[in-house]
Amino acid sequence: MKIGFIGLGIMGKPMSKNLLKAKHQLIVRDVNKSAEKELKELGAEIANSPKEVAESSDLVITMLPDSQDVRDVVLGHQGIIEGGKAGLIIIDMSSISPYVSMEIAAELEKKGMYMLDAPVSGGEPKAINGTLSVMVGGNKELFDKYKDLLGAMASSVVYIGKNGSGNITKLCNQIIVAINISAVSEALILAQKAGVSPELVYNAIRGGLAGSTVLDAKAPMIMDRNFTPGFRVNLHIKDLKNVLETSNEMGMSLPLTNMVMEIMQEIREDGSGNEDHSSIIKYYEKKFDTIVRH
């Protein structure tokens, strides 16, 4: 089976490399030519358009920044839908609006093509070591058929339900991550302001109920002043925008998500948009004139 992979960014590039390591044939496409060159050196073919990827593939994976990017690549001029034949499978691993995901899946079905929405969680480190969590919406038989393929990039691959369900699950994930990082930041700034070592506080609480993957991933980054992006503030803002638009469509108000969205927008305005989302701490540091350190 020949796999197309479109989107070789901070997540897509290591994910595609893991597919190559698993001995899959790959044809790739990205606007970043250096990323394409890097994959070519590892054995992938290069395509000139999403249409060309679809023409040469049995299955196409997309890993793109936002809803409109996926819509353009799949349904737009020179898009996948123009090059794909009936029976082509598209697995969109981007984090996008569930409504857009359902819309794209419906348009593909008119041409006899089928889509799974399969967004991921884990950030760049887990994309690199192939231990992402994947949450999948779409046809269950297709999920069963391609679960092992997704397993080449992930340690957890879970079927959720119909098209759009994967992206609903990802939005739930992003709510919890954003609020958790904000809670970690509030706790560490309180410790620092009180004259208590944030590092000792972290070590004391990480084995109890307050312990979490987010705490272990982000507290050390905060104390190290390391804001190299594993997941950028700008991308988390995009995800929370999708959360709030989806909840508004459902007539729901999400007060904590709204608060964290405001925090993220403020640190973006202060120049941290391309930093890791652990830079939420900078909002509290500015507010309380305190820097969190070891």
What pLDDT score was predicted for residue 230? 84
Q: Which residues are catalytic?
A: 170
Q: State the fold for domain 168-288.
A: N-(1-d-carboxylethyl)-l-norvaline Dehydrogenase; domain 2 (1.10.1040)
pLDDT at 123: 86
Tens of pLDDT along the chain (294 residues) come to: 899 999 999 999 999 999 999 999 999 999 999 999 999 999 999 999 999 999 999 999 999 999 999 999 999 999 999 999 999 999 999 999 999 999 999 999 999 999 999 999 988 889 999 999 999 999 999 999 999 999 999 999 999 999 999 999 999 999 999 999 999 999 999 999 999 999 999 999 999 999 999 999 999 999 999 999 988 999 999 999 999 999 999 999 999 999 999 999 999 999 999 999 999 999 999 999 999 998
> CA separation (Å) from 26 to 5, 124, 153, 172?
7, 20, 14, 32
- Residue 236's pLDDT is what? 95
- Paired with 59 in beta bridges are 3, 89
The 8-class DSSP code of residue 49 comes to: S
Second CATH level (architecture) for the domain 2-161: 3-Layer(aba) Sandwich (3.40)
Give the model's pLDDT for residue 222. 98
Pair type for strands 45-46 and 59-62: unpaired
Residues 242 and 167: their CA atoms lie apart, in Å, by 10
pTM of structure = 0.91
Domain with CATH 1.10.1040.10 in the chain: 168-288
Domain with CATH 3.40.50.720 in the chain: 2-161
Query: What is the pLDDT at residue 1?
Result: 85
